[in-house]
Structure 1
Amino acid sequence: MPPSRHSLRLLPLAAAALLAACATGGSPHGRATPQVDALYARLDQAGKGYETALQQAREGDGAASQKTLEASLDQLKDAAARCGSTPGCDPQRFFSVFDRLLRLKDGSFFAGDDDALAGGGPESGHTGSEVSPVTAALPEAQRSVTLLRGQKLSELIAMNGPVKAALEMWLTQWRPNLMDAWINYQFLRWQMWPQYQQADLPEALLFGILAKESGGKVHAVSRSGAAGPLQFMYATGLRFGLSSDGGFDQRFDPALAARANAAYLDEQLRAFNNNLELTLAAYNGGEGRIRRMVGDDPSVSLYDPKIYGQLSQETREYVPAVLAAAWLFLHPESYNLRFPRIDGAPGSVTLKRPASLTELTVCLGSAGGMYDGWFRTLRNLNPRLDPQAEQPAGSRLVVPKELEKAYAARCVDGPWPILAGDLHNAVVPMVADPPAPARAAPRTRSYTVRRGDTLTGIARKSGCADVQDLAEMNGLRHHRLKPGQVLKLPVCR
């Protein structure tokens, strides 16, 4: 049997020890000494011991595996702590071992330890205290979490500098966004994950893209026009079946968007020889552009200077951010991160009285411990509805199952629906916008073109116009000039 949940708790301790060691670690360029060599030898022994523990667990010897694991991690922590005070010891070697241990853990050592994972990791399929109906309905759920085209996801996520920097961002400045994305995703999971599972794609990847693209806000729209939880551009959405249904933009439908996203990734993974980083770069920066960079060598690394140097800054940040969010989805506690328990089981209510989503948000309040309120969740689960539009009695709305009782208790009778309706129907005075001030036509002067003049030179002489201004003002095509031609130039103020 696999080791107990206690053994999983030891990995964060190892991480803490490594971080403490690195905080005071010596220069990695120092000359090796017998003391440093001894620490490196202990490090190697700890790694081999961990692998032995894995093998013992696979053979069913849980007691021996537990004992070997604890001894190995104790040895690793002790060596990491001593590294911090030993001149010439390279703390990065300890980080490398820790990365490798996490990869060994991913999908192998603790693949069946649901109780251990229930404290924070989504692999368990637990939402709250009960087994999720989503997991129960989907065979091979664990495989869909950890594998991508038959390869462990951990083997495809390179723990390089950009990914580690993105991990730090998710754990610090982006942490509120990460937690919001987690909560939003748990309520959307029953619609989105099945689409990925059917395409044999890992759930962690879905979460990583969702967290970076929209944070799980179904109605998100970017400045460039990308829309929905997975931010499809209009033309790309059409290509993968996201069109208009009775005036509703299907990019906002979480299930349809996840299905289209899975189809897109499947297509690009084939084109890029299952190179996950290039596929994500294509999703963000455009597959045509990335294919032109890659040429005939789909095995090239995203971080090859000839590729990386041509990427936009947005794409350089996007790829490691998605991979880091996916990694945290799989290993939250190894980074001192705990996601909240969310019961995302779907349910529904039939309205007993007319109400809008905003009114329901008011009368539901903080039911179920949702201190930020239920507006975002209700919108996400009912993407076709205008949240301000009152729905008639008898309408069926999708809600988290845990809200079915709260609706009956709070939103049918009593003071809360009355208060919600009163606030919603408040009349705000309408004020007409003041008329825009009339713009005076710009004053101009004449200029006769001389031999050798260029539009650039004339613009420079004018002192207050650029080439485009002059071309538009004079109706010039291709910026061609003829000696003797009379141009209008703006009068500088």
Structure 2
Amino acid sequence: MPFKNSLAIALLCGTSVLAGCATGSGSRTAKVLPQPPVAVVAPPVVAAQPDPVTILIAQSDRHFATGHQELTLGHLDRARSEFDRSLDILLESAGGARVDARLREHFDRLVDRISVLEQGALAKGDGFTETKTEPASIDALLAIETFDTAKPALATAETVEADLETTTHDIPIPTNDRVLRYVELFQGRLREFLADGLARGAQYLPMIQATFRAEGLPLDLAYIPLIESAFKPSALSRAKARGVWQFMRGTALENGLKADWYLDERADAEKATLAAAKYLKTLHNTFEDWHLAMASYNGGPGRVKRALTRSRKDDFWQLSATTQFLPRETRDYVPMILAAVIIAKNPAQYGFDVIPMVATPSETVVAPAALDLRRVAEWAGVPVDDIQKLNPEFRRWTTPVKKGNYSIRVPQGTAERVREGLAASAPGQLNAMQWHTVKKGETLASIAKKLRVNRIDLAEANYLRVNSRVTTGGRLVIPRMPSSALLARASSADLERAAEATVEEVLAETAAVAQKTYRVRAGDTLSAIARKTGTTIAQLKNWNKMRGTELTIGDRLVVQRPRSSANTQQ
């Protein structure tokens, strides 16, 4: 506006001057047209240039995040590859990772984070770490105070009696106060527990009922695991009962299940169900009463027999009317099971809206030798937890050492990829186990002491007793945790090398040799040297007292330390 105003004033003044001159000369007045306004052109906007450092950090972070995810899934090879790439991106940048303060800070922080993750992965060792268990529901349920003095509501009794008139049961279901109290308890403060168990049980009940039908057992007994374990194969009680059916080890062995250092078939729902059918038949043949059979499933047949003898009773409800003959846990166990059966067979009647869990479809692959489940997961392209959930009988992250041709369940559609992985792998690439050849005069105790392993673990890993004699020249698998091969590198070549090496050779590499060095060559990076030597960048920086990552051709780097030093500096 100021520019336009001044232009208008100038034009007016100019017009006046011209008009005056024309009057003086007597000539015709000239017509002056206004000039168009001058356009104001804004200076060109210069696009901001992308910050190369920010781009590098973002690329590095993407690979780190992918590596972290792969590590969480149990895919060790892929995790290590992504971690290495996250560092290489920075090391391969113009000037290296130390030229820019932001790059330097990011690189150092990344090295620390990777080091922490790698050390955390050591907890799973070479496959010999025991897999996780979870508390058995029976412990918590039998500890709950049931308020014996409180009489169940009349409405509860009417609902249950009406339900029993229309719902078929194949074991006697009394509607006494003890059963009705648990019906109310499951509808009240134990509602969430029962709903969760019913949902999970949908995965197993068809199999259990089919087994019991084939074995001629009452189908109502299929709901015993609802109370014992909430249908959790990994459930472990305080008394060390395990699996969906909560077998004690001795009872499991008596009924055909296997349990050793590598596997525990109590956690295999199908095999344990066959064993449970056999055991329940035995108990019923002993007592000729399903309520007494159920009580002995909990308290043991010997205890129930003694209680019957002392009390001179032959009925569970009379026998359990007081705490004189049976412990409270066994007295409560039978009415608790019966109440659960009542609700489970007609959940909507009792206010339950159950959304059933669906079993993961699976297929079977046969492992010809000891096989690390993390290898299976990588070939199948699934998290290692998925493989473990399909095979809960494995106590370790490996199949048994001396039992070849062991079947492994894998997600449906992945078996062919796993078979291809097996076919393409040498025997030494299937696991990271280390072996010891027995020398003259050695015993299990001396070997365990020499190799710094637990003597009981050493014996059980080799299917021996603790006091067993060992034969000169024999080979023992050493349950060492962690394994530097699988976890520090986890490449196929390293697995093969680890399998071929004896434990003494592995120890000699870190104890007998003062230290091993590497001469830096043209094109070397710290990340590349770490890969070549089976170490980590953090270790190399630590051992060589490096503040940065710059390398000079011809320098010698310590790439392996004596065991005493390595343990304190890694």
Indicate whether the TM-score tops 0.5: no
Q: Which structure exhibits the higher relative contact order, with contacts defined as CA atoms closer than 8 Å and separated by 6 or more residues?
A: 2
> Scaled by the length of structure 2, what TM-score is found?
0.39
Name the larger-Rg structure: 2
> Scaled by the length of structure 1, what TM-score is found?
0.45
